[in-house]
Chain A
Amino acid sequence: MKNERFELNKNLAQMLKGGVIMDVTTPEQAKIAEAAGACAVMALERIPADIRAAGGVSRMSDPKMIKGIQNAVTIPVMAKCRIGHFAEAQILQAIEIDYIDESEVLSPADDKYHIDKTAFRVPFVCGARDLGEALRRINEGAAMIRTKGEPGTGDVVQAVRHMRIMQSEIRRFGSMSADELYEAAKELAVPYDLAVYVHENKKLPVVNFAAGGVATPADAALMMQLGAEGVFVGSGIFKSGDPEKRAAAIVKAVTNYEDADMLAELSEDLGEAMVGINEHEIELIMEERGK
């Protein structure tokens, strides 16, 4: 039964592929995102850029607020809990959330252990910077992976770094001999059977999205060309000048990510992009949370 549930949860992520998952903080924003072509929304009280600005401890959103968004749209609704905070996850499961993001954007509740996600019936997505983190999260029961990027910065450099590392490690695993694979699994601290899966299939056992710092159609196309199977856009939409137009343009950019002519058209006249912060200008490095 547990295995069947994991399969169904992995399958839902497969249905999200080629799509854009957007952060929303109100039912109105959720409706705008759905109308613009979001394949799912992430319900949260504050988008990462504001979490960053506000500082302090950041927690799971009010279930009432999340329910408001569930009632406003027909597409899947995701919500975040803190790393290791299985009680927050239990609450999100109780309100029948479609996906839980055990997220480094919120303040970690446990500095050692992630949630045992196999104990839940709802699916989890987790952030990863490299193949080791990804396979450890999958071993804990994650049914979907996303790059961590550096949330709320509008700077795509970390998401690019994480996706490149992941793809390069997958290629390395793909070309290993059997005896090398034992050692590689040990080095990355990942289970051998998952290492074998990557070796044989030359991909992760679950869907892999890009997240963190995606702010423009070009950013989304870049991540897709680097091997992402879809894109999360957090602060990039509702921190920009014309959220509706930008959201719709990013959706189209993810579908036609290799067509430069169309990308040029989509990138025109989108108004102001979110104000970005560069890597060296930030104090709080969220990607370091949860390894």
Chain B
Amino acid sequence: MKIGILALQGAFAEHEKMLGGLGAETFEIRQKRDIETAFDGLIIPGGESTVQGKLLAELGLTDRIRSLIKSGLPVFGTCAGLLLLAKRIENDEHVYLGTMDITAVRNAYGRQLGSFSAVGRFGDLGEIPMTFIRAPYISGVGDGVEILSEVEGRIAAARQSNMLVTAFHPELNGSKAVHSMFLDMIKAS
């Protein structure tokens, strides 16, 4: 199993470490030639969505990655990754990959003083630690989107077929539960 981690900007190294700890092989995606050979799963990390979105387009990656996701490549987006996958962002005119039928709100908890950590239920994995950094939340979901977690009444994680998103950062703390779930998604695909 080989998992590509979008490494244009942001916290990609943390995902590599997490997946390495679970025994998965990873590689970094920084430009077109990095995705010429087949791979089994994709991670879009936290960072700034404006930066990653712009680099995706300018490095000629957007269309290729979008079509891979549409044809069923398992993808996991955290924070900025959630925004890149969303079909709609309420307070941003941009749509980046736009493959997942969710509406997101960017910087939904305000500036850095609004960043927080919590413990919340995640699907049927029980309670896990969650770190929200200038995080978005999901304000609406379309048909076929399963809500996996709600924190303070806001949707913090969801899944639609091959796409998994979290508004928080499971790569930043000790719990491997969400990454394990993503590996299970890859195995089942």
Question: How many residues on B have C-beta within 8 angstroms of the other chain's C-beta atoms?
Answer: 36
**Is the Cβ of B30 less than 8 Å from the Cβ of A256?**
yes
Contacts between chains A and B (CB distance < 8 A), count: 113
CA distance A254 to B7 in the complex (A): 11
Residues of B with C-beta under 8 A to A122: 112-113
**Is the Cβ of B107 less than 8 Å from the Cβ of A96?**
no
Interface size of A as a range: 35 or more
**Is the Cβ of A75 less than 8 Å from the Cβ of B48?**
yes
CA distance A134 to B30 in the complex (A): 30
Tell me the smallest distance from the CB of A30 to a CB of chain B, in Å: 12
For residues 77 through 129 of chain B, which have their beta carbon under 8 Å from a beta carbon of chain A?
79-80, 92, 106-107, 110-113, 115-117
For residues 94 through 119 of chain A, which have their beta carbon under 8 Å from a beta carbon of chain B?
96-99
**Is the Cβ of B11 less than 8 Å from the Cβ of A14?**
yes
**Is the Cβ of A252 less than 8 Å from the Cβ of B9?**
no
Q: Would you call A18 an interface residue if the criterion is a C-beta within 8 Å of the partner chain's C-beta atoms?
A: yes
Which DSSP category, helix, strand, loop or mixed, fits chain B's interface? loop
**Is the Cβ of B10 less than 8 Å from the Cβ of A15?**
yes
Residues of A with C-beta under 8 A to B169: 11
Q: Would you call A19 an interface residue if the criterion is a C-beta within 8 Å of the partner chain's C-beta atoms?
A: yes
CA distance A194 to B184 in the complex (A): 38
**Is the Cβ of B106 less than 8 Å from the Cβ of A98?**
no
Residues of B with C-beta under 8 A to A4: 117
**Is the Cβ of B50 less than 8 Å from the Cβ of A74?**
yes
Residues of A with C-beta under 8 A to B80: 15
**Is the Cβ of A37 less than 8 Å from the Cβ of B133?**
no
* Contact A17/B9 with A39-B51, A75-B48 known, Cβ cut-off 8 Å: yes
Q: Choose among A9, A18, A40 the residue that contacts B8 (Cβ–Cβ < 8 A).
A: A18
User: Counting chain B CB atoms within 10 Å of each CB, which of A19, A77, A122, A123 scores highest?
Assistant: A19
Q: Would you call A8 an interface residue if the criterion is a C-beta within 8 Å of the partner chain's C-beta atoms?
A: yes
**Is the Cβ of B50 less than 8 Å from the Cβ of A75?**
yes
Residues of B with C-beta under 8 A to A39: 9-10, 47-48, 51
Q: Choose among B10, B46, B79, B112 the residue that contacts A9 (Cβ–Cβ < 8 A).
A: B112
CA distance A38 to B54 in the complex (A): 10
For residues 1 through 60 of chain B, which have their beta carbon under 8 Å from a beta carbon of chain A?
7-14, 30-31, 46-48, 50-51, 54-55, 58-59
Residues of A with C-beta under 8 A to B50: 34, 37, 74-75
User: Which A residues are within 8 Å of any B CB, using their own CB?
Assistant: 4, 7-9, 11-12, 14-19, 34-35, 37-40, 70, 74-77, 93, 96-99, 121-123, 248, 251-252, 254-256, 259, 262
Report the 8 A-B pairs with minimum CB-CB distance, sorted nearest first.
Answer: A98-B112, A18-B9, A39-B48, A8-B115, A19-B9, A14-B11, A96-B111, A37-B54
